[in-house]
Amino acid sequence: MRILVDADACPVVKIIERTGKQYGAEVILFCDTNHVLQSEYAAVRTIGAGADAVDFALTAECKKGDVVVTQDYGVAAMILTKGAYGLHQSGMRYTNENIDGLLMERHLAKKARMSKAKHHMKGPRKRTEEDDLRFQTALERLLTELLG
């Protein structure tokens, strides 16, 4: 079993490494050359900087049955078509049932940002210990399910 991580600015890398090791899963971190990652457990794949380069490399590497952690709905949509399992850093599981709605939300948010009207959209709230626990619980639940 493998866990592939869209690791650029991913706040749960340490949780993934620890949990992957506990479950005996191979962990591969994908990052671009603008980020320096090191791990004692995970393999680190540094991809050349470029628009979506990490996303395309991760998607190309992804195989049926892999677990992919990403906050990018586009990446999630692509890995689902390959038979992989997707997990957001919030702990939300990507499924064939929810991905279309998530992609539509992303599209509408982008349209709102690009419109001429001024929108004062707030950034994401600060991550909490509860957020980390929710993610860890979701990852453990998924790995337990897959290991049957």
Segment 18-67, tens digit of pLDDT = 999 999 999 999 999 888 899 999 999 999 878 789 999 999 999 999 99
Instruction: Quote the mean pLDDT of the chain.
Output: 90
Domains observed in the chain: 2-96+130-147 (3.40.50)
Segment 117-126, tens digit of pLDDT = 555 566 667 8
CB-count exposure of residue 26 (10 Å: 0-12, 13-18, 19+) = middle
The neighbour count for residue 126, using CB atoms within 10 Å, is 6
pTM for this predicted structure: 0.88
H or E stretch at 28: strand 26-32
pLDDT confidence tier of residue 148, bands split at 50, 70 and 90:
confident
